[in-house]
Structure 1
Amino acid sequence: MKKLFKGFLVATLLGSMLLAGCGGEKKADTKQEKTKVAFVYIGSAKDGGWSESHDNGRKYLLEKVPNVETTVVESVPAGADSERVINQLAGQGNKIIFTTSFGFMDPTLNVAKKYPDIVFMHASGYKTDKNMGNYFGRIYEARYLTGMVAGKETKSNVIGYVAAFPIPEVVRGINAFTLGVKAVNPNATVKVIWTNTWYDPAKEKQAGLSLIDSGADIITQHQDTMGAQQAAQERGKYSIGYNLDMGKVLPKTVLTSAIWNWGPFYKQLVENVQKGTWKTGAYWGSMKDGVVDIAPYGSMVQEDTKKVVDSAKAQLKDGKLIVFKGPIKDQKGNVKVAAGETMADKDLLSFDWFVEGVEGTVKN
């Protein structure tokens, strides 16, 4: 899940040390301890979406950083259950604990206060402490680009969006996607259905089917699985994936996907802890950083669409294109961001209104 934040220091690994005698002295060596790192997921590590994107990052960490061992706890509900799991992991010698769902924020903070010598990192939240940071990425940049793809490829001018909860992270993504749609197709609209769950493949799929029944010919989502994309493929419609390159699994429907690349971030953070240079804070990586991107295009995407989106991607990375730069109107046509102005991060992190072109309400 999901969501904010500003960079960490680059570091190197602690080296192992060999203590050796000389002449007739007895040699002694010390074995370098492995850094124990734990990951807590709200869904399965093979959910085809959010949790799997983090698990791919964990695997990258193991490949790239020696002297690390990891523990994974899957399918952990938010609330008291997650606090119990995090507390257990803290008591098992883990030096770094990544908790990867918005609902894990307060439980993570509660446990962090009891274990000041452990580094806790929470994905998508906004709270920090001396030994707890948070991390997310500007996935809204990728959302904007995938919105452009949908806007260029739709025939009905109705695009469906299956959304989890009306929190700023999700609202921000819907708005960015819609701005991308409208940038290339002013006549298109984006319909939103709230599911009130991060992880419920059946419910997500049903929401996708409902949107198709209401006229949508392209479906996207902010959920943890590919249920909505499966609905699109079942009905012969197109979709936009999220979290991972869903086109690898559903090649007949997925036009492209907004994707996460957590591996380099996990590597850098663990190295910082090992080096002793880690500092608490909030990380919010961008497309330029590589933590967010769009997946390769499906074979059905038109060449003209690719050219337009590729150009916009280059402008995003070099700073010439800013997603939330005015003029931006809300659903009622009121100017919320004046021409030439850019929304500040604090406003992006508290988004509670929809842009013009969204059909639905922020309150579900």
Structure 2
Amino acid sequence: MKLTSILAGVAMAAGLATGAIADGHEKTKVGFVYVGPIGDGGWTYEHHQGLLAVEEAFGDKVETVYVENVPEGADAERVMTQMALEGADLIFTTSFGYMDPTINVAAKFPDVKFEHATGFKRADNVSTYSARFYEGRAVQGHIAGKMTESNIVGYIASFPIPEVIRGINSAYLHASKVNPDIEFKIIWVYTWFDPAKEAEAANVLIEQGADVILQHTDSTAPQAAALAANDAGGNVISFGQASDMAEFGPKPRVSSIIDNWAPYYVARTQAVMDGTWSSVDTWDGMDTGMVEIGEITDVVPAEVKAEAEAMIAAIAAGEYHPFTGPINKQDGSAWLADGEVADDGTLAGMNFYIEGVTGDIPQ
């Protein structure tokens, strides 16, 4: 079946007929383009929770439509175009690789508002938004550094973009602060969502001695791999990515980074309704609640849990920034002096490892 036919069916099923009326007023139509399935248990699952929050907040004043498993590239452009043609007023494109397709389609539909997650290209009708995931990575790194027995942390990385590199650096920095013997082993899987690849990477890392698994991929497969290793007599801990993944707690999953998009999606939909929407760049973190830390289970020692909670409170209050010097780059050159805080511009374009991280960033 052709993609356009599938989309037409989705649109009809969602009641996306142009000119739908709610209480005598035209409904605001909001579209969501997802890189994975809404049941991935991670990234796309949390974005879909944002869609559900929009429906709950506005009831029959809105209509929503979404398409899952949209590859980054030409397919994404076709999906966005179809949504715009079906009368969407606002379209959220929820993956980094949708950046150029979003810009291209937005240029053809100047009256449609677009919101692109984790990118950096904007236009009069294109906003960008992201979360400071690196704040959560700092907390994970602290716990990992305190709890590892092998001193080997495995990291499943998706694509070598600044968002992922920041996460690796933040986690390593805070793990090494409390455990100078820590070593990070990084596997790049070049996918956001591929349970088979993610599980394979987790298993390889565990075989290499990692007793902590971190991930910047979207499925729960690494959690399942860690659980299987423990069932076979291992002692591996893991952390949920993008959503709580609490079904794998209290171990291996001892905590998580939760991306809470709902308030942002509700606010931006409201702005379209009010006629106050404008192109902005949003990069929020623990201070606004866009980044949350899931329950820290009792598998984490009480002292370590208290330290992690204190870090969370300090970051949320603006009293501590995860990238505070002294920090050197991987080659030993100075990056941040003692007490100096990284600026957002450098963080947004981060393309280097910090001192102590081994290996090269793929090109």
Whether these two folds match at TM > 0.5 is yes
Matched residues in 1 for 2:288 and 2:247: separation?
24
**Alignment equivalent of 1:102, drawn from 96, 100, 109:** 96
**Alignment equivalent of 1:133, drawn from 127, 130, 145:** 127
Structure 1: 5+ residue runs without aligned partners?
A: 1-28
Q: 1:30 to 1:240 in 2, by over 3 A?
A: closer
How large is the RMSD of aligned CA atoms in angstroms? 1.4
Query: 1:85-128 deviations in whole A, cap 9, x for unaligned?
Result: 10000000110000101111101110000111110001011100
Instruction: Give the drift of 1:249.
Output: 4.0
Identity of aligned residues (%): 44
Q: Does 1:41 align with 2:34?
A: yes
TM normalised by structure 1 equals 0.90
Matched residues in 1 for 2:76 and 2:144: separation?
37
Q: Does 1:324 align with 2:316?
A: no
Q: Does 1:80 align with 2:74?
A: yes
AA aligned to 2:241 is Y
AA aligned to 1:239 is S
Matched residues in 2 for 1:320 and 1:44: separation?
37
Query: 1:293-335 deviations in whole A, cap 9, x for unaligned?
Result: 1100123111011111111111111222111111112233332
Matched residues in 1 for 2:180 and 2:267: separation?
42
Matched residues in 1 for 2:362 and 2:84: separation?
37
SS in 1 for 2:138: helix
Instruction: Give the drift of 1:183.
Output: 2.5
Q: Retained in 2: the 8 A contact 1:159–1:190?
A: yes
Q: Retained in 2: the 8 A contact 1:230–1:250?
A: no
Matched residues in 1 for 2:250 and 2:356: separation?
28
Match of 2:199 in 1: 205
Instruction: Give the drift of 1:343.
Output: 1.4
Matched residues in 2 for 1:134 and 1:160: separation?
31
Greater Cα shift, 331-340 or 141-150: 331-340
SS in 2 for 1:235: helix
Higher relative contact order structure (alpha carbons within 8 Å, sequence separation ≥ 6) = 1
Instruction: Give the drift of 1:30.
Output: 6.5
Higher helix fraction: Structure 1 or Structure 2? 2
Length, aligned pairs only: 336
Greater Cα shift, 117-126 or 326-335: 326-335
Q: Retained in 2: the 8 A contact 1:43–1:51?
A: yes
Q: Retained in 1: the 8 A contact 2:114–2:126?
A: yes
Match of 2:153 in 1: 159
Greater Cα shift, 126-135 or 309-318: 309-318
Match of 1:291 in 2: 290
Instruction: Give the drift of 1:217.
Output: 0.3
Query: 1:131-170 deviations in whole A, cap 9, x for unaligned?
Result: 0011101111111111111111111111100001111110
Q: Considering only CA atoms, is the larger Rg found in Structure 1 or Structure 2? A: 1
Task: Find runs of 4+ consecutive structure 1 residues off by over 6 angstroms.
Answer: none
Match of 1:20 in 2: none
Q: Retained in 2: the 8 A contact 1:247–1:253?
A: no
Instruction: Give the drift of 1:231.
Output: 1.6
**Alignment equivalent of 1:62, drawn from 48, 51, 55:** 55
AA aligned to 1:352 is N
Instruction: Give the drift of 1:186.
Output: 2.1
Matched residues in 1 for 2:299 and 2:23: separation?
58
Structure 2: 5+ residue runs without aligned partners?
A: 1-21, 231-235
Match of 2:3 in 1: none
